[in-house]
Structure 1
Amino acid sequence: MKTLLLVLALAAVCSGWQGCTGGYINIAGGCYRFHQDWETWWHAKKVCSSENAKLVSVLTYAQYNGLLAHMNGNYPGTYWTSGAVISGHWTWTGTGGSMNPNWWGWKNGNYADHCAYFCSNTLKYWSKPCSTKLRYICEKH
């Protein structure tokens, strides 16, 4: 029995599987939590931080497709991401990386008081004033 458990544990490590806890689920190799309470972008960022997580930064097609598929199948709607305008450019504040311009719903302006959110219906990012209350996605890696 111990040998079987060891083999299963090694297989999980070698395959990149991550055990997600505390309401987080595994999507594309990361752990994500889809919060259903409505908060401003700044408050959502604080809640994620209190969970040792960050607002979601979508860097790969696997994340993009996996998150949108999960949202559409379970929690359709709009969700804050970590996207915000930093020094005049849309940036993932969770990682510092640039946002993929192909995933925007329109040519987006660089409004300093706007933050990016995901829309499950359009499968795109959009922006609203950061003071708007939306649901949000936290991620752990």
Structure 2
Amino acid sequence: MKGLCLLVVAVMAVGCHGCPDGWLDVNGSCFYFHQDQSMPWEDAERFCETSGGSLAKIGSAKELRAFYEYILTYSLSGSYWLGASDQGYEGDWLWVSDNSRVDRGTPFWAIHNGIFGWDHEPSGGTEENCLLLDENRKHYFNDVNCNLIHHPLCMT
């Protein structure tokens, strides 16, 4: 009986799906929206690493939708750094966690109105090399300057 009680306490401390309290379980990975922290992208990357994880990777439309619903459900504010950049080679967006390419276009990237009409992000050229889950773009992907101050979105 004592062993069962300890098991129940351990499950409650970690959460039903294996994520710590306050973390979001999406497809077996745990994500944390750090509302109380804001920093440039490189600092956010180090911050997540010291927490035992990395900046988040969103690899499917289902995951993006889960994040959007979580943000709306809990009325989170602000934009969140994601773990991808094109700092290595302009226009070649890679997830830092596994060096895989970031999917382009719909449903991930925001759209913008430019000289030639509507087009998808990324559009910032060499000045915007870090990936953001952008509050001003309905939490779609946007390329922004890495020195801007935003919240880290960490994953384990």
Aligned residues: 130
What runs of 5+ residues in structure 2 fail to find an aligned partner? 6-15, 111-119
Structure-2 residue corresponding to 1:28: 27
Q: Distance in 1 between matches of 2:64 and 2:153?
A: 13
CA RMSD after TM alignment: 2.5
Letter in 1 for 2:89: S
Deviation of the 1:43 alpha carbon? 0.6
Alpha-carbon deviations, 1:44-79, whole Å to 9, x = none? 100100011000011122211111211222213310
Is the contact between residue 28 and residue 62 of structure 1 (CA under 8 Å) also seen in structure 2? no
**In structure 2, which of residues 96, 99, 102 is the aligned counterpart of residue 96 of structure 1?**
99
Structure-1 residue corresponding to 2:148: 132
Structure 1 residue 62 and structure 2 residue 62: aligned?
A: yes
Q: Distance in 2 between matches of 1:22 and 1:112?
A: 37
Alpha-carbon deviations, 1:81-132, whole Å to 9, x = none? 0120032301111221111212111331442652010024524111211111
SS at match of 1:104: coil
Q: Distance in 1 between matches of 2:144 and 2:89?
A: 18
Structure 1 residue 117 and structure 2 residue 132: aligned?
A: yes
Is the contact between residue 91 and residue 98 of structure 1 (CA under 8 Å) also seen in structure 2? yes
Q: Distance in 2 between matches of 1:113 and 1:125?
A: 12
Is the contact between residue 121 and residue 141 of structure 2 (CA under 8 Å) also seen in structure 1? no
Structure-2 residue corresponding to 1:77: 78
What runs of 5+ residues in structure 1 fail to find an aligned partner? 6-16
Is the contact between residue 121 and residue 143 of structure 2 (CA under 8 Å) also seen in structure 1? no
Is the contact between residue 18 and residue 30 of structure 1 (CA under 8 Å) also seen in structure 2? no
Q: Distance in 2 between matches of 1:52 and 1:42?
A: 16
TM-score, with length taken from structure 2:
0.71
Structure-1 residue corresponding to 2:113: none
SS at match of 2:46: helix
